[in-house]
Structure 1
Amino acid sequence: MSTLNGKRAEAQQQGRKIKVAILGAGGIAHAMALTLNRMADDPRYTNLVKPYAVAARDGERAADFARQYGLPVSYGSYEEMLADPEVDLVYIATPHSLHAEQGEQCLRAGKNILVEKSFTANTAQAERLLATARETGLLCTEAIWTRYMPSRTIIHDLLASGIIGEIRTVSANLGYTITGKARLTDPALAGGALLDVGVYPLNFVDMILEGRPYDRMATAMTPYQTGVDAQSTTTLFYPDTVMAVAYSSMVSISDRDGVVWGTDGHLICRNINDISAVDVYDRDYRLVKHVDMPEQLTGYEYEVASAANAILDGARECPEAPHTDTLRIMRLMDDIRGQWGLRFPFEQE
């Protein structure tokens, strides 16, 4: 047994559960609260995590949230949560522009963090946050759920089997009509399609091509009336004639497919945001394999379980989303926005 796994086994023998607090009470926070409750009732996770608390800037809102999900503790300020020694892991569920500052505050207060995507608003913020994580020795990981899901390994194994030959082209898209959400159209909150939905096609490409570096990039976007990106397309060119195209939109509904084209066939992933099934076609376009993904609680349980186990192991990152991967995607999104000439107000300052 390794030293890390030994730490985990010892903690579990002592009956330790990772107490999770949610920072923020918006839509994604509700999804996480539901996930934590389901994990607490599931024999696979019941001895691992404990739904514990929620923090919001409005005490009444936090209390209502806690009552809705049966959380034992609520806080009317983030400072109250940071002062609670019972909190083991903080899930940061606020707008992108706040992740870096709030993440650093949590780490300085001795709290491990699971940070909702996009990890931060830009690479500079990400590097500062990860430097703080190294300094404090605490867990800091990005909650990009597709990197933790079983679908990732299933797809990797299919491609590794050679069922479609050598990979030559990848395409992925994600689009929803979500301009009604104020944070997504506000430049001051790092709004726009790229950081909210565009991060998924880029991560899909990155996982399929296993993080290989690209040679050059071509990208363009159409702006929303507030100046952030409404929708965009990015093409990445790699060595050996490999190419990948990623589309994102917050003004239209896309089919959400991720497609991998090979020399002997192609593979279609249904809904890259939460893959439900994979279809494999041969060179004659005949369906030769259909794979349904395993049943999930919500899909968020995998990132929570990985973070909890990492804490018990004394690790600073999760194997599914190491810091190098997070930084690579942040740099790519910075490069994309750089070609667009899109900077957020706090970056210009």
Structure 2
Amino acid sequence: MRVGILSTGSIAATMAKTIEQMQEAEVCAVASRNQEKAEQFAQRFRIPRAYGSYGELAKDESIDVVYVATPMSEHYENVKLLLENGRNVLCEKSFALNEKQAEEMLRLAKEKNLLLTEAIWVRYMPMWKTLRQVLDSGIIGEPMTVTANLCYLIDQVPRLMELSLGGGALLDVGVYVLNFASLVFGDDIQDITTTAIMTEGGVDAQNSITFSYPGGKMAVLNSSLRVLSDRKGVIYGTKGYAIVENINNFESIAVYNQDREQIAFYEQPTQISGYEYEVLVCKEALEKGWKECPDMPHEETLQIMRQMDKIREKWGMKYPREV
């Protein structure tokens, strides 16, 4: 599969480095808004074509799929440009600034009969399916409570502190705790209680979110740009519980019974970076003619965007470039 990369930042570099080690795909082109940056990136990863504008990459008909790794504030315009020019797209999380943008992006992809999928890597990984199987087995009984946190010391990253760039903890790292809760309980949320600590620039530095679901189920979720956390997800059931190490890239799943004795343990399989799984699923989708990936269906992308819209509405936090 011939891949184009739109952007030359750190996430783009991780993807390029990953694909370098894959037999199933190759990076054939990279685009920046600066020709020199594009050429430096291309030289670093031995990419044959470097473009000094996104429009040039969008017009490259030899590319099978374009990976979009720009700031979240840019996804809407970047993806539309690519789709208008006939390119299939793998777009980084968070997919857009809000549900309205996401709907428009997906509508255009459908109109153009192109593949468009959100690159929230954890959903494509084997361990995501392993956890689903653990829960479906009934080994911990009926899950009733979930706790999850994802917090990093990243408040020095300029884009994350800028409201105009879609900054804040929620869209960057909070999106993972929402997806974790969705894996366990689905998206039928009855009530949302939330609070956030805002920066002077108007983005959430840290937040706490509680979802209530039918049947008395609850998820308590935290994310932050200012502290370091254990990144654990814990699922409490009626017969036991499961602990996931690192909900951002499941390292292990430990299962415990009613006596708090460990009765099962699952370890992450060897991986390049974890990015390879979304690349492989895109390749399969193109080969089979799919326009969305079963690992992250379009409706699921919209559900998560809708949740984040409702959370930010409760905080009174709005991005300048929201449609």
> TM-score scaled by structure 2?
0.98
Residues of 2 paired with 1:87 and 1:346: CA distance?
A: 29
Letter in 2 for 1:146: V
Once the two structures are superposed, the pairs formed by residues 71-220 of structure 1 within 5 Å of their partners are 71-209=47-185, 211-220=186-195
Partner Cα distance (2:193, 2:60) in 1:
48
- Give the match for residue 343 of structure 1: 318
Q: 184, 199, 204: which one pairs with 1:229?
A: 204
For residue 290 of structure 2, the aligned residue among 305, 311, 315 is 315
Could you tell me how far 1:35 is from its partner in structure 2?
1.0
| Separation in 2, partners of 1:279, 1:155 | 10
Whole-angstrom CA distance in 1 between matches of 2:295 and 2:320: 32
Runs of 4+ in structure 1 over 2 Å off:
none
Offset of residue 148 of structure 1: 0.4
Residue-by-residue CA offset, 1:48-87 (whole Å, 9 max, x unaligned) = 3222111001111111111111111111111111121111
Distance in 1 separating the partners of 2:80 and 2:43: 28
Residue 245 of structure 1 deviates from its aligned partner by 1.1
Q: Distance in 2 between matches of 1:232 and 1:337?
A: 10
Which residue does 2:3 correspond to in 1? 20
Cα RMSD of the aligned pairs, angstroms, is 1.0
Deviation at 1:225, TM superposition (A): 2.0
1:3 maps to which residue?
A: none
* C-alpha contact 2:141 2:240 (8 A) present in aligned 1: yes
1:65 to 41, 64, 83: 41
After superposition, what is the alpha-carbon deviation per residue over 1:122-154, rounded to whole angstroms, capped at 9, x for unaligned?
011001100100100000000000110001111
Post-superposition CA distance 1:157-179 (Å, at most 9, x none): 11111111111001111000111
Of the structure 1 ranges 289-298 and 127-136, higher mean CA displacement relative to structure 2 is found in 289-298
- Aligned counterpart in structure 1 of residue 258 of structure 2, from 273, 283, 307: 283
Q: Are 2:187 and 2:303, in contact at CA under 8 Å, matched by a contact in 1?
A: no
Cα distance, 1:346 vs structure 2: 2.1
Q: Alpha-carbon deviation of 1:297?
A: 1.1
Instruction: Give the 3 Å change call, closer, same or farther, for CA 199–69 of structure 1 in structure 2.
Output: same
In structure 2, list runs of 5 or more residues that go unmatched.
none
SS at match of 1:346: coil
Q: Which residue of 2 aligns with 1:43?
A: none
Amino acid at match of 1:269: V
Q: Which residue of 2 aligns with 1:238?
A: 213
TM-score by length of 1: 0.91
Secondary structure, counterpart of 1:121 in structure 2: coil
